[in-house]
Chain A
Amino acid sequence: AQSVAQPEDQVNVAEGNPLTVKCTYSVSGNPYLFWYVQYPNRGLQFLLKYITGDNLVKGSYGFEAEFNKSQTSFHLKKPSALVSDSALYFCAVRPGASGNTGKLIFGQGTTLQVKP
C-alpha cells in the first residue's frame, strides 16, 4: 500500500536552533515528494518539492529537504528556527506511476513548536 509516515506528532525546538521534521514514504515507482505547512484555520501552503536531480531541495522561508532514496525518506530541515515557524507540517507524495493524474497522499502531520 502507498503511504506516508511522519513518525513524530510534535517537534519542539528552541528559536535559533536547527530543526528537522521527519518523513518516510512507501510508493511504487519514482516518487514526487512535497512539504506543505498549515497555520491554524488556514489551508495548506506549499514549501518545496522533490522531483528529480539534486537530493537537497531548497524551498520557501529558508526551509530545505533532503531526499534519501535508500532510506525512502524526505526530511524537512531549517538551519535556524523562528517562533513564526510554529505550525503544522505535512509531507505528501505523488506516486510516479504512469496514469496517475496527481493524487497526493499525505502524512498525518507534525506540529512544530518553536520556543523563544
Chain B
Amino acid sequence: DAGVTQSPTHLIKTRGQQVTLRCSPKSGHDTVSWYQQALGQGPQFIFQYYEEEERQRGNFPDRFSGHQYPNYSSELNVNALLLGDSALYLCASSLVGQRYVKTQYFGPGTRLLVL
C-alpha cells in the first residue's frame, strides 16, 4: 500500500520564479492538504483540496495556489518566489468524514530553496 508521495524531493529556484510541487495521496484517500514548514518551525497550513476544490485556506497570499485532479493527486504552485518561501513543503492526505475525524498522513516533503 503506497503512502503519500511527493515530487521533486529537492528544488532550487531564484527569486521571482514560479514553482510547481506535486503530491499523490495515500491509496483510498480523497483529500489533500498542503503545509509549509520553515526551518525550526512547526508546519503551517496552506490549504486543503477535496473534490477538486479548495475547501479551506490558511493565512497565505494569493501567490500560493493549488489544484486537485480527478485521481485525487494535487499540485501546489507558488508564483513570484521570495527568499522567505524557502521551506519544506509537506503534503498530507486523508479521507473526508463528517462522522469520524480522519488522520492526516504526510509525505516526505519537497525542500525548496529560493536564492
Contact = CB atoms under 8 A, between A and B. Distances in A.
Interface residues of B, number: 30
A102 B104 contact: yes
Contacts of A87: none
Interface in A64-116: 90, 92, 94, 100-109
A49 B105 CA distance: 12
Contacts of B101: 32, 49, 51, 94
Given A49-B103, A101-B50, A43 B108 contact: yes
Interface string A9-46: 00000000000000000000000101010000011111
Interface in B74-115: 90, 92, 94, 96, 100-109
Nearest to A6: B42
Contact of B90 (A44, A103, A107): A44
- Residue in A45, A94, A102, A108 with the greatest tally of chain B CB atoms within 10 Å: A102
Interface of A is mostly: strand
Nearest to A105: B45
Which of B40, B41, B50, B101 lies at the interface centre, i.e. has the most chain A CB atoms within 10 A of its CB? B101
Which 3 residue pairs across A and B have the least CB separation, nearest first? A106-B42, A44-B106, A43-B106
Interface of B: 4, 6, 31, 33, 35, 40-45, 48, 50, 55-56, 58, 90, 92, 94, 96, 100-109
